[in-house]
Amino acid sequence: MDIIPGLADVPVAHTKICLLDGKNGKLIYRGYDVEELFEKSNYLETAYLLIFGDLPSKAEYENFKKDIKLHTRLKFRIIDVMKNFPEKAHPIEVLQSVVSCLGMFYKKENVLNIDYQYLSIVKLLAKIPLIIANWNRIRNGDNPLEPNPDFDYVENFLYMYFGQKPTKEKVEILEKCLILHAEHSMNASTFAAIVVGSTLADPFTVISSAIGALSGPLHGGANEDVIKMFKEIESLQNVKKYIDEKLESKKKIPGFGHRVYKTYDPRAKLLKKILENLEIKDKELRNLYSIAQEVEKYVLEKLSHKGVYPNVDFYSGLVYKYIGFDEDMYTSLFALARVSGWLAHWKEYITDNKLIRPTEIYIGEVNKKYNDRKV
C-alpha cells in the first residue's frame, strides 16, 4: 500500500456541487460559472443553489428568506455563554464553540430526515451571522443588536455588526465576497465536514468541525497572514527585498499558490476587480493596496513559470478592510460564506452515506516486553 501525503488528488466522493478546473482557472457551482453568479446573483440565492441543486424559483427564494428570518435569533443562554468568553478570544474560536453549543438547544433527530435537514440548514444560515456580529459587539463592551426585520440577509449582518445601516455599496461588495467564498470542492474543511457527517453526527457538530479545520493558517486563516505581510513590508521600496528574503529562505509567500489552480485563481481575479472599482479614501488602505499590487507583480515575475499565482486570500483581506472589518474577523467571514458549501456536501454525502474509515501503515516496533522497560 502506498501512502499519499495529504491525500493529494485522491478522490473520496462523487459530487454534483462544484467543479474546479485548475488548468484553466475555472470554478463552477452546480453548472454555473462563479463569475456569472458573482455578477448576477446574491449570497442566499447562491447558497440555495449549492445546497438544494438549482437556483430557486421566486416563490422558493422568498420562502427560504422568510424561514431564515424566522430563525434569526439566539437564545439568551447562548449570549450569556458568549459574554463569559475572554475578550481576546479569536472570533473563529468563538464561532466554532458557539456553533457546537447550538446543537445542545435543539432536539436531535434522524439526520437523514429531509425536514430535519432543512430546518437545521435554515438555523445555521440564520445564526452564524448573528454569532459573528454579536461577538464583535460583546468583545467591545456593547450589547448585541436585535436584527432588523426590514433588512435582507447581508444588510442585516452588517447592521448588527457595525451598529448602523450599511451603504448599498458595502452590502453589494460583501454579497460578492460571500459568493466567491461559498464553495470550493473537497478542501480540508469540507473533508472534515463529511468525515464527521459520515458518522451521522448532528449538523451543528458537523459545521463546528469544519470551522475548526478552516481556522488553521494553511486554510482559512491565510487571509489574515496576507494583511500582516503587507504591513510588514510597509512601503513599495521594501517589496523586492522582502520577497527575495522569503524566497531565499524557502518560506511560503502568503496569498500565493494553490494545490489545484496552476493559473490565476478566478476568485482572486474577481476580488481584484472589486478593488479596482473602489474609490479608496483611507490612506492606510491605499498604501496596503499599492503594496499588494507591487507584490503581485514581483512574485509573478519570479514564480509564475512554476504555476504560482495569487489565490483567494491575496486580495480578500483588503476588500474586508475596505468594508471596515477588523483583521481577526476575516476567517470568520470566510466561514460565514463557506457554511453553504459545507452544508451542501454534508447533505449530498449522507444521502448515500458510508462511514469514512481509512487505514494506516504501522511502522513502529513489535514484541516489546513490559519487564524490559527502563528502570
Q: How far apart are the first and last CA of the chain?
A: 38
The single residue listed with the C-alpha cell 516496533 is 365
Look up residue 152 and give its three cell numbers. 435582507
6: left (phi over 0), alpha (psi -120 to 50) or beta: left
| Cα(44)–Cα(50) distance, integer angstroms | 10
Task: Find out whether 209 and 339 touch, Cβ atoms under 8 Å.
Answer: no
Query: Of 202, 265, 313, 345, which one is the catalytic site residue?
Result: 313
| Cα(206)–Cα(197) distance, integer angstroms | 6
How does strand 26-29 pair with strand 18-21?
antiparallel
Tell me which DSSP letter residue 54 carries: S
- Whether 258 sits among the annotated catalytic residues: the reply is yes
Q: What are phi and psi of 126, to 5 degrees?
A: -75, -40
In this structure, the dihedral spanned by the alpha carbons of residues 108, 111, 114 and 115, taken in order and rounded to 10 degrees, is: 10
Query: Of 258, 305, 352, 372, which one is the catalytic site residue?
Result: 258
- Whether 14 sits among the annotated catalytic residues: the reply is no
| Cα(361)–Cα(1) distance, integer angstroms | 8
Give me the active site residues, please. Answer: 258, 313
